[in-house]
Amino acid sequence: MGASAALAGSLLAPVAPAAGAAGESYLAPVDRITPAQGCVRLTPGINGVKVAMVQRRLGMPASSWETMDAATVAAVKRFQSRHGLTADGVVGLRTWAALRLGRSFCLDRYQARVALPLEATAPQRREQLIEHALRYRGNEYVWGGAGVRRVDCSGLVLQALSSAGLDPQPISVDAHVLPDYRTSLELYEHPQLKRLALSERRRGDLLFWRSDDTGRVSHVAIFLGRGRVVEAVSAVDRVRVARISTVRPGKTVMPTVVRPFPRNLSAD
């Protein structure tokens, strides 16, 4: 079984929920995030920071999407042929070592540590969520990224949620790099995250945008209040603070927000 198939087949069940109002059930805060498997072999379709590193090492255009597409696979095969490796276009441990990238093959295990105790209040968690996301401001956008420095829109949110103590399994950094997996959509549809109308948004909520072409959720940001969000955006290739009203070409804001830390799950 390939790495992507193994990961897809081994995603964990959601963590234990907490009871909300009127019988609703939401994810409870945790003091430890489910460890990531990481060490993903770069097979066709895999995305993320490791792919970006390989592409740059092979001299591919800076405009390349950070995915193991046909051009990237072909470039890897050429490199493997020149270095006496099996020319299968897959980046495993041997090819990674030959590329001399200077980083561990398992760097994709990174997850932010939970920064708060279990007794932290919902407002404290929302502020931690925002504080952690803002640490990425100005950092590079990488498709499928959820790393220490480089992220995409939902990778940014995943790391901020981890720091604030939410583990939205089966959504994970492992699933985030898989072909055709859309973490923003999975967050929007997670059955144990509280949804409210966009008009009820408040600081720390997750806002979503859909693609005008497909109608599917394709972007997520964290609401800061006063009409602003922190988000990772491919169009500017950076993590930025922007207004909700800022034009995002081909995208429309969704009428529903997600509140990761509802007030009724804590003592505030």
Taking all residues of the chain, what is their mean pLDDT, rounded to a whole number? 91
C-alpha span between 71 and 234 (Å, rounded) = 20
The average pLDDT across 44-70 equals 95
Q: Has residue 266 got a pLDDT over 50? A: no
Confidence of residue 262 (pLDDT cuts 50, 70, 90): very high
Mean pLDDT across the stretch 37-46?
98
CATH of 108-265, one of 3.40.50.300, 3.40.50.2300, 3.40.50.620, 3.90.1720.10: 3.90.1720.10
Percent of the chain residues topping a pLDDT of 70: 89
Q: What sign does the CA torsion over 140, 207, 129, 240 have?
A: positive
| pLDDT of amino acid 128 | 98
Q: Pick from 153, 149, 127, 126: which is nearest to 138 by CA?
A: 149
Task: Return the pLDDT at 9.
Answer: 37
Q: Please tell me the distance from the alpha carbon of residue 196 to that of residue 216, in angstroms, as a whole number.
A: 18
CA-based nearest residue to 221, from 192, 245, 250: 245
Tens of pLDDT along 156-205? 999 999 999 999 999 999 999 999 999 999 999 999 999 999 999 999 99
Reported residue count of the chain is 268
pTM (predicted TM-score): 0.90
pLDDT tens for 116-158 read 999 999 999 999 999 999 999 999 999 999 999 999 999 999 9
Domain extent listing, the chain = 108-265
Name the least confident of 14-18, 113-117, 150-154: 14-18
pLDDT above 50 (res 79): yes
pLDDT band for position 23 (50/70/90)?
A: low
